[in-house]
Amino acid sequence: MQRPWHSVSIDDCGESLRPLRSVLTCMEPHPYVSLGAPYGNGADPFCLRQGVRSRLLAAQVHLQGITMGTGLHPLRFGIFDAWRPVSVQAFMVNHAIEQECARQGIDPEDSEQLNRLESVRSEVARFWAPPSSDFLIPPPHSTGAAVDLTLIDAKGSPLDMGGEIDAIGPESLPLHHADAAVEHPDGTAALFHSRRCLLHRVLSQAGFVRHPNEWWHFSFGDQLWAWTVQADRAIYGRVPELFSLEP
């Protein structure tokens, strides 16, 4: 499935991938590693391009400052996933399709259920980028410019955001709880909406853009970012060998 931002050209700036574990709270065990996703050679999924990492660190400082100012314990980011090779993207797309088929009681091998299977594939494709090996249209996470994250409290526990990361369904849309929040400003939907808005506000002020279908997905410098902010080109493409072991 082509995305509108796939038309954006890429001029990679050559920054290396830098680890996140020493500077941010990464949610262990990593969910895709636990499923057996093929990262290979001990590659660390908790990495981002240097410039993206720096912006994320600045955003966390801002987040802690404004939440501490409310008189509450400061909130932090909980990193769910970051760099993701195309091999893992393909693995997870297939896993998502299998899980959704199981949830709906669909047998992928049943020729009489092909229409339902295609419906599942289309729905999954709204949330999971195609695992393209074409360097002109890289999956966002393969560039090291995209991160999946949530808010966590002082004890490291994730806040309830009104929908799980990677959920296939309307609850994943960033504004899913907006209407209910207006109708019931003291209800749980209003709480979920306010938390999603806080996450978005802090990250957007640091230059990130949010995926239109996922409240948890933010990026800087990739094709989605360039398309959203109307930049001439993306500055991060799929260059998997640019690693740095520096903390």
Looking at the annotation, which residues are catalytic?
A: 214
Task: Count CB atoms within 10 A of the CB of residue 118.
Answer: 10
- Buried b / exposed e over 197-234, threshold 16 CB at 10 Å, is bbbbebbeebbbbbbeebbbbbbbbbbbbbbbeeeeeb
CA 92 to chain CA mean position, Å:
13
Is the bond into 29 cis (omega within 30 degrees of 0)?
yes
| Local structure of residue 43 (DSSP, 8 states) | -
The pair of three-digit structure tokens given for residue 230, joined into one six-digit string: 């109307």
Helix axes 114-125, 86-104, angle to 10 degrees: 130
